[in-house]
Amino acid sequence: MIAAAAIATTAFGLAATTGAYTVSIALRRHWASPFTTPVLASTLMVIGVLLATEVSFTQYKPAYQAITSLLAPATVALAIPIYKNRHVFFRNLLPAGCGLVAGSLSTMITAGLLARFFGFSPDFVASISIKSATTPIAVEIAKFVGGNSSMTAIFAVTTGVIGAALGPWLLDRLGIASSMARGLALGTISHGIGTAQAAGESDIAGATAGVAMGLGALCTALAAPLIVPLLTG
């Protein structure tokens, strides 16, 4: 009986998640807005469904794990557009590299200084300063810079969602149409979720975002032990 209930709850969680994403895609087609970005809209829908049906996160977790297990092959699949567009990367290696380093360092320093300005604790400052690294790496970095792993995970996921939702809108308002520039910005600041958003725009944007996500996390990992102590000290 317990096993049957668990299976039913997992099936419900999968149906709710895929259904929410499908609805958010349709909503996006009819009403393009930062608030109808699929990752943001579907997340809010799933949260609403779980609250309405009183399904706890513990009960939803098997469905969540089943879906996130697909992240590994999806990440590997990013190698295809990266390889296909390798000539674009080599042609723009220097400006893209400078932009990536500048973006990784500036978001770390800005977030840390703002948190310190508002009087937050050192572990809060350390946790939020590394928010733009992809979540698994940010959580590991937190252990070395005095951050809180749970807070870091929350900040990283929130940054990804907000960046994917508002990033394209802001880039449009700034008149930035270059696929490479858009992908670089989304991948550097909003890591995996931003990369997914960029991939929906074009192959070049998605490929650039994938490279930026990986190299941005590497840049953050190398710089954080030197910069974060200065922000928290």
Q: What residue ranges do the domains of the chain occupy?
A: 2-69, 81-232
Nearest to 213 by CA among 106, 113, 78: 78
Nearest to 216 by CA among 98, 77, 89, 78: 98
Q: What is residue 65's predicted lDDT score, i.e. its pLDDT?
A: 84
99 pLDDT above the threshold of 60: yes
How far is residue 199's CA from residue 211's CA, in Å, rounded to a whole number? 12
How far is residue 62's CA from residue 78's CA, in Å, rounded to a whole number? 26
126 pLDDT above the threshold of 90: yes
Q: What is residue 38's predicted lDDT score, i.e. its pLDDT?
A: 85
117 pLDDT above the threshold of 90: yes
13 pLDDT above the threshold of 70: yes
How far is residue 7's CA from residue 63's CA, in Å, rounded to a whole number? 9
CA dihedral 2, 10, 61, 135 (to 10 degrees): 160
Q: How many CA atoms lie within 13 A of 205 on its CB side?
A: 22
When pLDDT is averaged across residues 144-149 and rounded to a whole number, the result is 91
Specify burial of residue 201 (Cβ count, 10 A radius: 0-12, 13-18, 19+). middle
